[in-house]
Amino acid sequence: MYEYRKLTAQQKAEIVRQRLANGYPPHSPPHHLTNYEFYLLTATCFEHKCRLNSEPRRQQILNLLWENFIDIDITILAWVVLPNHYHLLVKNVDFKKVTKTLRLIHGKLARQWNLEDNLTGKVWHSYSDRGIRSENHYYATINYIHYNPVKHGYVNSPYDWQESSVHWYLKYEGRDWLRSCWVEYPLRDYGKGWDSI
């Protein structure tokens, strides 16, 4: 995303032309129509700015995601909301409904937060999706989501971050299950390079 800004007008036009020729949107991430049962959805604040910079804001978006995804029959299986992005592991994805729903949620919150912060401009940079390809990928994704606050340096333990499904899994599956999942499905390079995109 940031490399694009360094390109000449001609280079930018060529990239947009190639994206359109491949059936992709000109600037936002493409949403492939491959049918996976599960997807990792990631939404990022524009320029990675920390607009989700308080627990009430993170809880607000989490509540809106839950309410609206229930309405469109999408199940959220794991989640984390950080100061500048969030991840959701979901089931039963209809991308037309997801796109419309996230556009509404993000638009509502952008307006509200810009008013609260006395700012103008873009708050969100669309969203991306990754199909979950195997059982290993599924459980590694849960680990990735739960470890994300530690990865980004916000806390020393996943259990210290409130806006995360790690607490749900701790309550309903137990600490032994979480430890076993962590050992059996290691992260390795999961997510490497995503932040530079």
- Residue holding tokens 């309405």? 71
The answer on 142 and 172 residing in a single domain is yes
The answer on 190 and 124 residing in a single domain is yes
The answer on 170 and 73 residing in a single domain is yes
What pLDDT does 120 receive? 96
What b/e readout covers 40-78, taking b as 16+ CB neighbours within 10 angstroms? bbbbbbeeebebbeeeebbebbbebbeebbeeeebebbb
What pLDDT does 6 receive? 73
Q: What CA dihedral angle connects 4, 10, 15 and 21, to 10 degrees? A: 160
121 or 1, greater pLDDT: 121
What pLDDT does 17 receive? 72
Residue-wise pLDDT for 145-192, tens only, equals: 999 999 999 999 999 999 999 999 999 999 999 999 999 999 988 877
Helix (H) or strand (E) holding 81: strand 75-81
The answer on 43 and 60 residing in a single domain is yes
What pLDDT does 35 receive? 81
The answer on 49 and 134 residing in a single domain is yes
The answer on 19 and 42 residing in a single domain is no
- Residue holding tokens 């606050």? 149
The answer on 44 and 14 residing in a single domain is no
The answer on 83 and 160 residing in a single domain is yes
Enclosing domain of residue 56: 31-196
The answer on 108 and 18 residing in a single domain is no
The answer on 149 and 126 residing in a single domain is yes
Average pLDDT over residues 91-95: 90
Number of domains in the chain: 2
The answer on 189 and 102 residing in a single domain is yes
Q: What is the CATH number of the domain that holds 168?
A: 3.30.70.1290
The answer on 130 and 74 residing in a single domain is yes
Amino acid at 17: R
